[in-house]
Copies of this chain bind each other. A is one copy, B any other.
Amino acid sequence: MLTIGWGEALFFPPPLSKEGIKVGALRRFAIYLDENRIGEAPLFLPSPLREPYVSLTFELLAEDTQTEARLGRLTLPHGVVETPVFMPVGTQASVKGLLPEQVEAAGASIILGNTYHLALRPGEDRVAQLGGLHRFMNWERPILTDSGGYQVFSLEDLRQLDDDGVRFRSHIDGRWLELTPETAVAIQEKLGADIIMCFDECPPSQAPKEQVLAAVERTTRWARRCRDALTSEDQSLFGIVQGGIDEELRQQSAEQLVELDFPGYAIGGLSVGEPSEVMLEVAAKTARHLPRTKPRYLMGVGRPLELLEAVAGGVDMFDCVMPTRNGRNATAFTTQGRLKLRNACYAEDERPLDPEWPAPYVGHFSRAYIRHLFMAGEMLGPIIVSLHNIAFYCRWMREIRERLRDGRFNEYRASALARFGDSL
């Protein structure tokens, strides 16, 4: 088989939009010559064609002169992600309450899936058999899956933890399951996300230094095993820095992982109860020990202003359940601060949620109507505010990227802090 060219074309999935307009997805493919037959293959399937292709490229487009903030572009098998970026959380192969096209319309370019939940239900083999996570949930852009470490270590029924891995009981059917660096990678390979994460040990937030140190060292040993276990060439494995809130341990963890040469690094084990200022300081200090040319991902963070500050500290990627979880609980993030929509003050408020940043699909509903939906227990309330919040977070990151492009990031940061204070 001989590659003779590359192509790009718009492919149209079956459903038409209501105006009868087809929405196409840009797909790259290789054109090949095989036994004198011309064929085509998706560009990113494992095949001998793939030599000219790397599963992740990260370009630094701009670096702020006054802070550590960076503007970047991450190219992944399923598409391009502009950084700094917020990744909505789709724990169980669904960003709660939203259709994939709504998540995309809200501005999301990459989402997160949870290995722990998906391995338990429907199971990674089932997902693989159904074409992988992208096809299963009909999300055609990039996906990142976590390793399951964070969930497993927060389980009460964690019965055994040693250097090999962990044994735990499923919260769904009580089965005993095992997660090791090797199985965590194998599961994530079956799910098929663009970016996958090392299996790490996330110690409790109040753990003594010796325990945190032990977790750092184990996380490094496990990271090496994850790297060695990786067989997929279409997925990029990120290392996860641990070390609690101890600067020295964070540095040690970062340096050990950098030696293993991952294509990207996450800062894990934060936002687990420590004050926001501490979290931001540790994240920024950790980022300094990570390679300038590789993407940095702060896991599980946070409020919009925390994202802004972490960007100033040199972070490129974020995920958080806050926009969807708060959305289901009737709290909207807006350019006027957080709105708690069950409050009586919105009962006659004809204004949209956020006149300044209207969200697609839902930007025209009045606060009075949305409040009514929550008071009446209608599903549409959580749907509207979840979509709005995802759109707000994505727009928030887009503003940050635009200011980085203009070279006015720090100015914008100061004005945002002054404008929003604790309200976002």
A positions within 8 Å CB-CB of B: 13-19, 21, 23, 92-94, 96-99, 101, 104-105, 117, 121-122, 126, 129-131, 136-138, 347-348, 350, 352, 358-366, 368-369, 372-373, 375-376, 378-380, 382-384
In the complex the two chains form, what is the Cα distance from A105 to B121 in whole Å?
A: 32
Nearest residue in B to A369 (C-beta to C-beta)?
B136
Chain B residues with Cβ under 8 A from A384's Cβ?
99
Given contacts A96-B378, A379-B382, contact A366 B104 (CB under 8 A): no
Residues of chain B with a CB closer than 8 A to A99's CB = 361-362, 380, 383-384
Specify the chain B residue showing the minimal Cβ separation from A366: B130
B96–A380 CB distance below 8 A: yes
Instruction: Determine the chain B residues whose CB is within 8 A of the CB of A380 once the complex forms.
Output: 94, 96-99
New A-B contacts (6) at CB < 8 Å, excluding given A130-B348, A130-B350: A17-B105, A94-B378, A97-B379, A101-B361, A126-B347, A138-B364
B92 touches A376 (CB 8 A): yes
Query: Are B18 and A360 within 8 A (Cβ)?
Result: yes
Instruction: Verify A130–B364 contact, CB threshold 8 A.
Output: no
The smallest beta-carbon distance between A156 and chain B, in angstroms, is 20
Copies in the complex: 2
Closest CB in chain B relative to A396 CB, distance in Å: 18
Indicate if the CB atoms of A93 and B15 lie closer than 8 Å: no
Please measure, in the bound complex, the distance between the C-alpha atom of A129 and the C-alpha atom of B14, giving whole angstroms: 42
Considering the chains assembled together, what is the distance between the CA atoms of A364 and B134 in angstroms?
13
Q: From A352, which residue of chain B is reached at the shortest CB distance? A: B14
Q: Which residues of B contact A93 (CB under 8 A)?
A: 369, 372-373, 376
Complex Cα gap A360–B96 (Å): 20
Given A94-B378, A379-B97, A379-B379, are A130 and B15 also a contact pair (CB < 8 Å)?
A: no
Contacts of A348 in B (CB 8 A): 126, 129-130
Q: Which of B15, B97, B350, B383 contacts A360 (CB 8 A)?
A: B15
Contact in complex: A14, B364 (CB < 8 Å): yes
On chain B, the residues within 8 Å of A365 by CB distance are: 138
List, in ascending order, chain B residues with CB within 8 A of A379's CB: 94, 96-97, 379, 382-383
The complex places the Cα of A350 from the Cα of B126 at a distance, in Å, of 11
Docked CA distance A122–B347 (Å): 8
Q: Which of A15, A104, A138 counts the most chain B CB atoms within 10 A? A: A15
The 9 A-B residue pairs with the shortest CB-CB distance, nearest first, are A18-B105, A97-B379, A92-B376, A94-B380, A94-B378, A15-B363, A122-B372, A14-B364, A15-B364
List residues of chain B with CB within 8 A of the CB of A352.
14
Do A121 and B376 have beta carbons less than 8 Å apart? yes
A358 smallest CB distance to B (angstroms): 6
Residue contacts A-B, CB under 8 angstroms, 6 given: A97-B383, A126-B347, A129-B348, A130-B350, A137-B369, A138-B369
Q: How far is the CA of A138 from the CA of B369 in the complex (A)?
A: 9
